[in-house]
Amino acid sequence: MTYRILIADDEPIIRDGLVHFMDWESLQCRVAHVAEDGLQAKRAVDGEPIDIVVADIRMPGMSGIELAEYVQREHPGIKVVILTGFADFAYAQSAIRYGVIDFIVKTNPIPKLKEAIGRAIDRIEADRRLARQLREVRAAWFRDLLTGADADEADTARAAAELGVEPGPYRVLALETPEASDAARRLVDAFAEERHPRPIYALAVDRRRVAVVAPAASFEPEELEDRLREVLAPPRIGWNGEAVSLAGLRAACEEALASCGGASQANGWPEPASTHRGIQQLLRYIEAHYHEKLQLETLADHVHMNQSYLSRLFKKETGESLTDYINRFRIEKAKELIASGEYPVTEISAMVGFGDPGYFSLTFKKLTGQSPRDYKHGHS
């Protein structure tokens, strides 16, 4: 991944030096924009995808401190490094509250700037990992909201507030596409990359259909549909009618799926399909807790069944053993994480619930025909 740098300084010699004498490529960076003052820099962060700002502390129009304050308020994902003179250093310390990564004295700034850029990248990656985990938790909650038993409206509102989910209104879109799980991930990542102030939630309904939940205030239906076609080019897209609150999402999803073509198959979400209420409840629990240690005793207690009876019932309803289903589900999640390129294979084993990395590798190869590392090389 390449990180995009904005350089802002009113002195041409400093700007040119930073552009030409820093080995940006070795830091996995490129200079995306050069600004001659603070206001130009402000317009750049508003209009372009920027990851790191390197700004002089004193510039016409808007100082580096004021720019850092603005970036923290309006674009908190962007990291800022301030260039300063000895006389400005005490003044620069006041900007610590604006999340500035470091203050670099302009005399021979290159060595210190390299270190600061490295710390900024580490912070960006930590933020992205946290954001991805939060998206996954929210997506699991939305999936349960759309497919589970009817929830109490007050409980739904309380859970939404705890997760930082807006109460609505929302629109629901359904689309057909091969490999729905991968398509859902690509959609979410594409919109996250564009830094939309309100995220979308894309959920794989089954192997070939995706439901997209989008804040109505963020997108006009035609705009969102055009953007989705750019990312996936799906053959068919269906919408629900009016924008709805969280409490109305399940019915809206049914409407969108029907509009996309065919019945909604709510009981078949997630796969494998089962009409048994207890098995549906168990599938949702596995989807939300696959990364944890799942023991038969815990699963049986969750659905209030005897362990032996649950094992027999699951095999009867789904056509596969409970262990095989959990392993298959975990490996599908592992494939998504490997394809994302954000995590080393050595960490993914634990992230999807395998305590033993060796067993993870054996199971991965058994189900995919490739080792995790070979799979990564084929998707890098």
- Give residue 153's region: left, alpha or beta (phi > 0; psi -120 to 50): alpha
Q: Delimit the CATH 3.40.50.2300 region(s) of the chain.
A: 3-127
Long-range CB contacts for residues 109-118, cutoff 8 Å, separation at least 24: 109/18, 109/83, 110/21, 110/22, 113/18, 113/22, 113/54, 113/81, 114/22, 114/27, 116/81, 117/5, 117/27, 117/29, 117/52, 117/81, 118/27
pLDDT at residue 42, as a whole number: 95
> CA–CA distance from 249 to each of 211, 215, 264 (Å)?
11, 12, 13
Tens digits of per-residue pLDDT, 172-227?
A: 888 877 677 777 777 777 776 665 556 777 777 766 778 888 888 777 767 777 77
Structure tokens at 232: 């996936």
Amino acid at 36: E
pLDDT at residue 86, as a whole number: 63
Contact call for residues 313 and 305 (beta carbons, < 8 A): yes
Cα Rg, the chain, nearest whole Å: 24
pLDDT at residue 265, as a whole number: 43
Domain 148-268 top-level CATH class: alpha beta
Q: Delimit the CATH 1.10.10.60 region(s) of the chain.
A: 277-378
Q: Delimit the CATH 3.30.70.250 region(s) of the chain.
A: 148-268
- Mean pLDDT across the stretch 323-349? 88
Task: Could you list the beta-strand ranges (E) of 41-165.
Answer: 52-56, 79-84, 102-105
270: pLDDT confidence band, cut at 50, 70 and 90?
Answer: very low
Question: Is a pLDDT exceeding 50 seen at residue 237?
Answer: yes
Structure tokens at 197: 């102030």
262: pLDDT confidence band, cut at 50, 70 and 90?
Answer: very low
pTM for the model: 0.57
CA angle 280/282/287 to nearest 5° reads: 100
Distance between CA atoms of 38 and 66, rounded to whole angstroms? 8
Look at the domain 3-127 and name its fold.
Rossmann fold (3.40.50)
pLDDT at residue 5, as a whole number: 95
Q: Which CATH code fits 277-378? A: 1.10.10.60
pLDDT at residue 125, as a whole number: 92
